[in-house]
Amino acid sequence: MNLAIDLGNTSAKVGLFEGTTLVRPPERIDVAALPAFVAAARPDHAIVCSVSGDAAALRETLRPLVPSVYVLDYRLPVPVTNGYASPETLGMDRLAAVAGAAALHPGRPCLVVDLGTCITYDLVDAAGYYHGGGISPGLRMRFRAMHTFTARLPLIEPEPHAALIGTTTRTAMQSGVVNGLVAELEGTMSRYGAQFAPLTTILCGGDALFFETQLKGIIFVVPELVLLGLNRILLYNVSLT
């Protein structure tokens, strides 16, 4: 059994796999509870990815519990060709998501749109070459920025399917942010699709379900994409040993 860990500051999203199959829904658990979780699961291999937590320290914690533990960084071999010009600065969750997309749709160009704190766009082509992508402010970051950098705009929660024309300050903010982001997403996907056809678009991240029904065209929502990619990278490295 394999364990994939997407590590945050205080919690981690974890997935257990038999081969390429996720054996149960991913779980989010406190970092402090990870050793007990791992001891109970008894995986043969584990991989850790982090953009905020200390992956190396967690690896040392897990080593007595797991026969082999990998940390995803820019030096670890991956089953895609990384064309990023500064691989040491690339968020490893982005690389894992790309590996997951390439595994789910081999031989097809894929655009991964991760709708989290920031929105990231990442393109892997049909040959498995990762080109890079873009980074944009996320949904809640946009609302918070308007509140933080103005004197009177309130901090509000996003609502799906915002009216085009806002008739109050709050509904005008909803219109500007939500409809603006829908336009950004559809426009960006269209431009990638014109260059890399036929393009498969995959949404992941915390706000993927928020936008799923608001976007035109055929898209796939795969909330566990990063974990799937981590497992694919883990299997690739195990095969090299």
Binding residues for substrate: 84, 91-94, 169
CB 202 within 8 A of CB 96: no
Q: Which among 30, 44, 54, 93 is annotated as catalytic?
A: 93
Which whole-number Å values give the CA distances from 203 to 6, 17, 113, 143, in the listed order?
17, 21, 5, 21
8 A C-beta contact, residue 9 and residue 52: yes
Strand, coil or helix: what is 47?
A: strand
Catalytic residue status for 207: no
**Contact of 14 with 48, CB cutoff 8 Å:** no
Q: Scanning the structure block, which residue is given the tokens 């890399």?
A: 196
List binding-site positions for K(+).
114
Residue found by looking up tokens 């089953």 in the block: 79
Cite the annotated binding site for ATP by residue number: 6-13, 117
Phi/psi at 206 (nearest 5 deg)?
A: -65, -25
Q: How far is CA 74 from its chain centroid?
A: 16
Q: Which long-range contacts (CB under 8 A, 24 or more apart) does 160-168 make?
A: 160/210, 160/211, 160/213, 160/214, 161/213, 161/214
Task: Check if the beta carbon of residue 70 is closer than 8 Å to that of residue 62.
Answer: no
Give the helix/strand (H/E) hosting 225. Answer: helix 225-240
Feature table: binding site:
6-13, 84, 91-94, 114, 117, 169
The residues assigned a catalytic role are 93
